[in-house]
């Protein structure tokens, strides 16, 4: 069954709800694992600007004009060198040189699924949450989390 069918308006029957719950759980696990692995990856190599005024890093996944996924190799002077999933038996990976405006941001399917589940859901207001928020706001910050005093000149 396709997941887009689960997002139609109306009540879900029992097995559709179970399928949606399992898909959401797997998506959350996948995103958590990606986050843990990304933090161990180390320094990123930054290159030119994509998507308006956003810096791109080497290896950033993007959607090509033919709707396939590629990875940024370098961006310079409004053009991007993108590695595709196609591999030539003689030369290796195939690269395309495209205008930076022709590329679109790749959105993780897991993140899209979780975002669709959260759409339209509002937080339930409660007196306990409001009281907790006020009491937390009165507390001082943790030591070292906010600099105190006049900022020092460097140099």
pLDDT given at position 64: 93
Q: Does an H or E element contain 34, and which?
A: helix 14-40
Inter-residue contact 99 to 81 (CB < 8 Å): no
pLDDT tens-digit readout, 57-101: 898 899 999 999 999 999 998 899 999 988 889 988 899 999 998
Least confident of 14-18, 24-28, 29-33, 127-131: 14-18
H or E element, residue 88: strand 79-88
For residue 46, the model assigns a pLDDT of 87
pLDDT band at residue 147 using 50, 70 and 90 as cut-offs: confident
Specify whether the CB–CB gap between 81 and 97 falls below 8 A: yes
Angle of CA points 53, 58, 63, to nearest 5°: 70
Q: Where in the chain are the domains?
A: 12-118
């Amino acid at each position: 069954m396709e997941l887009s069918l689960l997002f139609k308006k109306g009540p879900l029957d029992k097995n559709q709800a179970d399928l949606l719950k399992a898909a959401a759980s797997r998506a959350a696990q996948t995103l958590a694992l990606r986050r843990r692995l990304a933090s161990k990856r180390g320094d990123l190599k930054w290159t030119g600007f994509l998507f308006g005024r956003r810096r791109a890093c080497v290896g950033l996944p993007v959607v090509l004009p033919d709707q396939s996924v590629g990875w940024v190799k370098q961006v310079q002077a409004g053009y991007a060198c993108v590695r595709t999933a196609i591999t030539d038996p003689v030369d290796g990976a195939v690269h395309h040189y495209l205008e930076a405006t022709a590329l679109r941001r790749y959105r993780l399917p897991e993140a899209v699924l979780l975002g669709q589940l959260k759409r339209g859901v509002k937080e339930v207001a409660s007196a306990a949450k409001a009281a907790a928020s006020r009491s937390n706001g009165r507390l001082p910050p943790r030591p070292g989390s906010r600099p105190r005093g006049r900022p020092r000149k460097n140099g």
